[in-house]
Structure 1
Amino acid sequence: MTDIKMIEAAADRLAGHARRTPLLSSPFLDEIAGRRVLIKPECLQHTGSFKFRGAWSAVSALAPEVRARGVIAFSSGNHAQGVAYAARLHGISAVIIMPSDAPKMKIDNTRALGAEVVLYDREHEDRDAIGATLAQDRGLTLIKPFDEPQVIAGQGTTGLEIAAQAAEAGVSRADVLVCCGGGGLTSGIALALEARAPGLRARPVEPEGFDDAARSLASGRIERNATQSGSICDAIVTPQPGEITFPIMHRLCGPGLSVRDDEALRAMALAFARLKIVIEPGGAVALAAALFRPDAVEGDAVIAVASGGNVDAGLFRQALETHAG
């Protein structure tokens, strides 16, 4: 199981390959939130999201003879691109299973990185079953998007950076809001904070109607979403928290939060106007919660992870036009 030693080892393997993203701030955002807001822009990471960290961690941890046979992954886009790029840098093949309704840019980018893309219907087909069959038939190693110890370890390197950067910024106690799908990033950050910054508390943030992590934390057991489509936050719409990630979140995380799609769009527009960064809807929900759910957040400061920036131009234009100014 993932622990701080695995996260530190992943950080060593990622050194020189992943970007150390900064903590950003804006007085305009502080005013909206009513407290100090620090943003971790993983949208600036390779392939436009934190997913490169976990992908590189998992691929680089494979035995050379296993890695040489290639890898397979399933993803709505960000994990897809992370695995495709990590595989390309290692000189191996990658097959990526993607939902047919994933943003076109994510599908195109994944193919452009050299991966073979297999599309499926997320409402009627089981991506886990498709992935398991292809992995067995072709001798590929399946790199799961969140329920994989080495992937969690790689995502946890984000938490190591947050711990160090928060200390540099003079923040020792704060909620760390994390965009949450299956929980790989949230659980990895939570483990890193437990070891390096126990005054910082990870909290998952999800779209309204797809708040399986929040409901699972509240009930103490894994809860499933009723549907797999209907939100613009495609990057974090998953069936349920992972079997590996949920126990970590249940032990370490604070209560979950949820925001509306229009609030994610507004956060995207504000991030562009005030921080000059591009965030996709699923990558904006943590910032949206920091800005628009002030009463649900504790402390004089809040840290929000902007987990990805892979948004189609039309949707980004909608965010800017709808929430201009």
Structure 2
Amino acid sequence: MKNNNPIKISEILKAKNILDGKIVTTPLIYDFYLSKKFGSKIFYKAENIQRTGSFKIRGAYNKIYNSIKNDKPAGILAWSSGNHAQGVAEAANIFNIKSTIVMPKDAPQNKINGTKSRKANIVFYNRKTENREEIGNSIARKNNLLIIPPYDDPDVIAGQGTIGLEIIEQISKYDLFPDKVLVPTGGGGLIAGIATAIKNKFNNTNIYSIEPNKFADYSKSIKNKKIYKNNMNNQSICDSLLANQPGEMTFNINKNLIKKGLTVTDKQVLKAIRYAYMNLGLILEPGGAVGLAAILNKKTILKNKTIVIVLSGSNIDTKVFKKAIQ
């Protein structure tokens, strides 16, 4: 298959050096209980304990670093339901640059609070009737702000790809290679970066996108080899994965790297959050728990497989967390 991937492994390696000392090298955690139960080797890449509570700071910091070498902007702008918002705001603070975030009115309060605590200026919009990109682009033009896209950007994807480099290094210490890697998927930037890094080293590894079943645009798009849009009137507790559709850049990467898209229900996600808390001592937000939900519900063959599940975030709404663990 011809490789048309615009993201080169050299760019991910460069991002790793840029991020050194700025982020947490998150652990790869072995699940003894589920591994024994399913006759497999199950690991978790714990980005839920990353700085800001999600993987997003990796791409945000890498993008800002590479964008301000020659010309420092008046400020930074991003659109996000919360995790990218906090990652961008945190990274902007490191560079001593002001940030503006376009957020949906129905974003979880804890993510709004986390973004405010990082001194970001928040502009709210209605995700069902307004277009966040149009709002953001208009503000950026008027105020000379640098836009940090949530996923459809080479520097952002390369930053997220450093997770894949860490997985390679960490699992190699067990003298293993991953048969399967499960990645929470919204716009597709996280899985594009991870898949690029993993497949460069382990070409036989199968990469799976995991989504809420009512927002299965990536699953449908990969299966049919064309971009499908979500019905934004649908609802899911997985707020961090509710993209309108796959990014054009991410889809062009992922269509050649993803084996299959898997989906889970909100009920299955709640049970996964409970399992992570009760059995692993980990706090996961709904979007960060979809891969674990897929494993708990045997959405793919597990026996005699080495499986890595990316836990992408921990920024869970208090009410949702209480509902999950009660």
TM-score exceeds 0.5 = yes
**Aligned AA (2:195):** A
> Given the alignment, which residue of 264, 267, 281 partners 2:269?
264
The answer on whether the counterparts of 1:98 and 1:120 sit within 8 Å (CA) in structure 2 is: yes
Mean CA deviation greater in 228-237 or 307-316: 228-237
What one-letter code is carried by the residue in structure 1 that aligns with 2:290? V
Report the count of equivalent residues.
Answer: 321
Residue 255 of structure 1: aligned partner: 260
Q: For the Cα contact (< 8 Å) 2:274–2:324, is it kept in 1?
A: yes
2:158 equivalent to 1:159? no
Structure 1 residue 224 corresponds to structure 2 residue 238: no
Match 2:320 to one of 315, 320, 324 = 315
What are structure 2's unaligned runs of at least 5 residues? Answer: 1-5
Amino acid at match of 2:179: A
- 1:274-314 residue CA offsets vs partner (Å, 9 max, x unmatched): 21110000100011112212545585221100000000112
Deviation string 1:72-101 (CA, Å, 9 cap, x unpaired) is: 000000000000000001100110001111
After superposition, the C-alpha distances for 1:20-53 in whole angstroms (9 at most, x for unaligned) are 1011122222245442210011011000000010
Give the fraction of aligned pairs with identical amino acids, expressed as a percent: 40
The residue number in structure 2 matching 1:13 is 18
CA contact 2:160–2:190 (8 Å) conserved in 1 = yes
Assess, with a 3 A threshold, how the Cα gap between structure 1 residues 317 and 145 changes in structure 2: closer, same or farther: same
In the alignment, residue 162 of structure 2 is paired with which amino acid? T
Task: Give, in whole Å, the separation in 2 of the partners of 1:296 and 1:217.
Answer: 19
1:57 aligns with 2:71: no
Corresponding residue to 1:277 among 264, 282, 295: 282
Over aligned residues, Cα RMSD in angstroms?
1.4
8 A contact 2:73–2:144 mirrored in 1: no
Residue 245 (structure 1) aligns with: 250
In 1: Cα distance, 2:40 partner to 2:203 partner:
20
Q: SS in structure 1 opposite 2:58?
A: helix
Alignment of 1:127 with 2:132, yes or no, is yes
**Partners of 1:259 and 1:288 within 8 A in 2:** yes
For the structure 1 residues 21 and 208, does the alpha-carbon distance in structure 2 shift closer, same or farther, using more than 3 Å as the test? same
Query: Higher mean Cα deviation, 30-39 or 185-194?
Result: 30-39
* Correspondence 1:47 to 2:52: yes
The Cα shift of 1:163 comes to 1.1
**C-alpha distance in structure 2 between counterparts of 1:161 and 1:198, whole Å:** 16
- Show the 5 A alignment for 1:101-112: 101-112=106-117
**Inter-partner Cα distance in structure 1 for 2:130 and 2:203:** 41
Paired residue type of 1:241? P
Equivalent residue letter for 1:23: L
